[in-house]
Amino acid sequence: MLQVACKDIGVLGCDFVAQGEKVRKVEDKMLEHMRDAHPQLIAGLTDGQHKELETRITSRMHVLEAQGARHETERHKVLRVACTDLGASDCDFVAADRKVRKLRERVFNHMLDEHPEMIVGLTFEGRKELERRVEAAAHRD
């Protein structure tokens, strides 16, 4: 289960928490809440500012502890994405992190170094689609 709170993205004084199994669902819940509860923060944003807000929301998401988990070490499960999950069949690289944002950064840095043909020259839409593929391919240990 993923979670992000208003406090995580800098909206102090609000206890709202968006939770869900998928990054996009949690992001949508947070944006809907902001439109309803904090319209002054979202109204009039340019496309670029809206994309920055979406990035801030996804980068602050974290994995919740599994229900019934008792130990602190089990609190935040590690997310993993392999290059093979993204179509690079001849690469054994696996990115791992507890945070979606850092996992995405690791994958993109690896791709720039080892598979530039997969990432260089992508349009903004192409990059967002690749980010979604990375998030969809992420699995917990």
Main-chain dihedrals φ then ψ at residue 140, nearest 5 degrees: -90, 145
Structural domain contains residue 70:
no
CB 132 within 8 A of CB 139: no
Residue with tokens 């944003």: 45
Q: In terms of domains, do 43 and 84 share one?
A: no
Q: Half-sphere exposure of 112 toward its Cβ, with a 13 Å CA cutoff? A: 7
- Do 56 and 89 lie in a common domain? no
Single-letter code of the amino acid located at 104: R
12 and 42 both lie in a single domain: yes
Q: What is the residue range of 129's domain? A: 78-140
Q: What is the pLDDT of residues 88-118, one digit of tens each?
A: 878 888 888 888 888 888 888 898 888 888 8
- The Cα–Cα gap between 116 and 15 comes to 42
Does 57 share its domain with 10?
yes
Please check whether residues 54 and 87 belong to one and the same domain.
no
pLDDT per residue as tens digits for the range 35-76? 999 999 888 889 888 888 888 888 787 776 555 444 444 455
Q: Is 117 left (phi over 0), alpha (psi -120 to 50) or beta?
A: alpha
73 inside domain: no
CA 46 to chain centre: 21
Same domain, 55 and 87: no
Last residue of a domain, one of 63, 94, 110: 63
| Residue 131 lies inside a defined structural domain of this protein | yes
Domain count, the chain: 2
Average pLDDT over residues 7-19: 90
The size of the chain, in residues, is 141
Same-domain check for residues 42 and 84: no
Residue 71, in any domain of the structure: no
Does residue 69 sit within a domain?
no
Contact call for residues 61 and 76 (beta carbons, < 8 A): no
Regarding whether 45 and 87 lie in a shared domain, the answer is no
The predicted structure's pLDDT at residue 16: 95
